[in-house]
Amino acid sequence: LGQIKDDNLNIYFLSLLDDFTKDKLKKITLSPGQRKEAGLFLPIYIEKMTPRHEAENLRLKFSDIRQDANESIEDFAFRLRELASRAYPSDEEASKLAACYSAFLRGLANKEIRIRLRENDKVTNFEEAVEEACRLHVIRESETES
């Protein structure tokens, strides 16, 4: 979206959404400047879709989130990203990723991988933690198959 130059970029964005979300968001009045800048209209739309009281409830849930028994590491990471975007709608992306990183280290099901991630000084952010956890998981899977 950031690469598209159009005075009504928000209309293009709304056309990509489901009907329920589109109907809710098209009621918002945006200034001409907000309509053509995704960085300006997206926070407004996110705030509308995640009211403050709901975001507070999601932040509580976020602090207790755990990887489900049959959930892959990648799916758990995706669920964290999705929840962070709704729990912290107006925060900067770096803050959301920092929250994801902490929640990932707390909620990862495999204790051995959690410990290895904390011991590894080279793993300093969420994306690195997910990548390293996946790598460690593949190693453990291959060792148990032999």
Mind listing the pLDDT tens digit for each residue in 28-84?
899 888 888 888 888 888 777 766 677 778 888 888 899 999 999 999 999 999 888
87 has pLDDT over 60: yes
The letter for the amino acid at 118 is: R
- How many CB atoms sit inside 10 A of residue 131's CB? 15
**pLDDT at position 146:** 60
**pLDDT at position 68:** 96
1 has pLDDT over 60: no
pLDDT tier at 3 (50, 70, 90 boundaries)?
low
**What would the mean pLDDT of 135-139 be, rounded to a whole number?**
95
For residues 18 and 120, the model is more confident at: 120
Q: What is the Cα–Cα distance from 142 to 146, expressed in whole angstroms?
A: 7
Percentage, residues of the chain above pLDDT 90: 41
Count Cβ neighbours within 10 Å for each residue of 47-64 and write b for 16 or more, e otherwise: eeebeeeebeebeeebee
**pLDDT at position 2:** 58
**What would the mean pLDDT of 110-126 be, rounded to a whole number?**
95
131 has pLDDT over 90: yes
